[in-house]
Structure formats: structure tokens, C-alpha cells
Copies of this chain bind each other. A is one copy, B any other.
Amino acid sequence: MKKLINNPADVLAESLRGVALAHPELSVDHETQVITRATPKAQGKVAVVSGGGSGHEPLHGGYVGVGMLDAAVAGEVFTSPTPDRVQAATKAVDRGAGVLHIVKNYTGDVLNFEMAAELAAMEGIDVGTVIVDDDVAVQDSLYTAGRRGVGLTVLLEKLVGAAAEEGQDLAAVVELAQRIVGQGRSMGMALTSCTVPAAGKPTFDLPDDQMEIGIGIHGEPGRHREPLAPASEIARQLVEPILADLDAAGPAIVMLNGMGGSPLIELYLMYGEVVPLLEKAGVQIARNLVGDYITSLDMAGCSLTVLKADDELLRLWDAPVNTPGLRWGV
């Protein structure tokens, strides 16, 4: 295992120390491993909390800041954070108008956020929850009942964060989040496995001449393996399953995301391959992201996310956001 780490057991704790040093605008509680804004939002606004296993940076900690999340709860690598930590985050950021939990659909996350919501309710905090399940690759998976939550989470955190920032109430923010989940889909692929520090070896074996289509963000199995193919063919295998599941004609926000180990020159090349395929199907790309936004440690590969958009979503997209991972308008 070749990694820039000390003891594998300390990776998250030590990485959070670096986050705290790099970002004085964030506040890191090293005990609960919760990242919040150093300056909380105004009283009376809905707070937005997300979290899950680490290893997907910049998600979620890199999306804490004005216009996006109020708190991110960092579990150990690929491990759900415990309910008490989610509750601590929820309590820390509640400004009296309720808290939205954004949960990627993995069984551990769903259970732990549910329990945290119950604990928060006992303290009089209103919690709304949205479960993100945008991955069209597989119906059920190793860690999931139903579809996995992947790239759409990034777009949802941005859009819902903007709605909360402008003062929409909890019911409106929850409804917006549900609507986004209903109209966004993702599909990913891997050229290589990731290596979890505590495991010390690749999560799976992928021969030099093979790739995995429909990979999960924890290296969990996708749809199938096949021989390495050109980018044009990979693009087809990402676009087609999304379009088979979503009538995406019309305006859209599109993200071509890197899994962590693929350089930007390749991600732009892939973006150049997916755009004509989407446009041929009537998708009008109104906004886009190309880069590493939800990763799987050092995995080489990419994923595509397509979210149908309308004027309201584009307005929320363009609203100011000031986080380490996404920043504009400020």
C-alpha cells in the first residue's frame, strides 16, 4: 500500500487536523469528527447536515460553508458515523427552524441517521430526511437495500443548501430535496480498485486489461466487468443506463466526476465524450462540473450524474456558495 499516511488507524483523525489548519472558516470537533461553519448561519433558518463514511473527499466536509452544508459528520473510511455523532452535529447547527439530513442510501447510514433524528426529536428539534438513491447501476448492492446514493448528493447539497440559505422553511426544503432525488441519476465505472488504509490492500482485484462498469463508491461490485475500452465506449456505457431510467430531455445540470485516481486531463476528455451523447438525446446542459467531487479514495475511474433542471433549480445553482469544494458568487 502506497499512501501519504502514518498509522492506518489514524488517517481520518489526522486528515481532519489538516482540514482544521487549512480552513479557519470551518470548525472541526475532533472528538465527534463533525465539521461545522465557524460562523453559524442566522437564527431562524433551516440547517443542512450530511455525512457518512470518509474516503469520498471533498464530500462531505469540503461542502460545509455558506450556501451549502451547515455540518458534515465524518465516519471512519467507508464506515457510517454513529448516531450520537450525527445527533451532536444536528444539535450544534439547529437554528430553531429544523434540520435537513441528507443521507446516501447505504443501510448503515440510513439506520444511524434515522436514530439520530429520533434522538434529536426528543430534544425538540424538527428533522427532515432525504435519502439519495441515484445510482442506476444496480437495484440492490452489498451495503444497500435499493439503489446506492452517489454523485447526485453533491448537486443536492448545493441546491438544498441554497434554498435553506435564502430562508425556505423545512417543509419546502424537504420537498425540494425529494424533487431533486426524483429527477437525478448517476452511473460510474472503475479502472482500478481503491485501497482502504486499514485493509492495506486493494478492495478487489481488477486485472490490467479489465474495467468494472457500474462500480460503487466503496469499490462494491457493479454490473459487470469487461475488457478495457476506449473513452467513447465507456461514455456510452455511462450515458445509456441513465437515459434508460430518466427521461432527461430538456435542461440539465451534468457532473463528470473523478473517482480520485484519474487525472483532470482524462476527466475533460471523458466530458467531451459524454456531451454529444447527451445532446443527441435532447439533454440541454445548462450547468456542469468536471473534476473530483465525490471520490473513492485512490480509485481510477469516473462517474456521470445527470439532473433535470428548471429555472428554479438553475437559480439555486447560481446562488453564492463558499466552501472548500465548491465556490462561486462570493
| Residue ranges of A at the interface with B (Cβ–Cβ < 8 Å) | 2-7, 11-12, 14-19, 21-22, 54-55, 57-58, 62, 77, 191-192, 208, 211, 228, 230-232, 234, 256, 260-273, 275, 285, 288, 290, 292, 295, 297-298, 300-302, 327-330
Contacts and interface: CB of A to CB of B under 8 A. Distances in A.
Contacts of A261: 261, 263, 298, 300
A6 B230 contact: yes
B14 A269 contact: yes
Given A11-B266, A15-B272, 13 more contacts: A2-B191, A2-B211, A3-B266, A4-B234, A4-B269, A5-B230, A6-B269, A18-B270, A18-B275, A57-B268, A264-B292, A298-B300, A327-B328
B329 A269 contact: no
B302 A4 contact: yes
Q: Interface on chain A toward B: helix, strand, loop, or mixed SS?
A: mixed
A275 B23 CA distance: 13
A4 B330 contact: no
A270 B267 CA distance: 25
B57 A4 contact: no
30 contacts: A2-B208, A2-B228, A4-B231, A4-B266, A4-B267, A4-B301, A5-B266, A11-B266, A12-B265, A14-B231, A14-B272, A14-B273, A15-B265, A18-B256, A18-B271, A18-B290, A21-B275, A21-B288, A22-B271, A22-B290, A57-B263, A57-B264, A57-B268, A58-B264, A62-B264, A260-B263, A261-B300, A263-B298, A265-B297, A327-B327
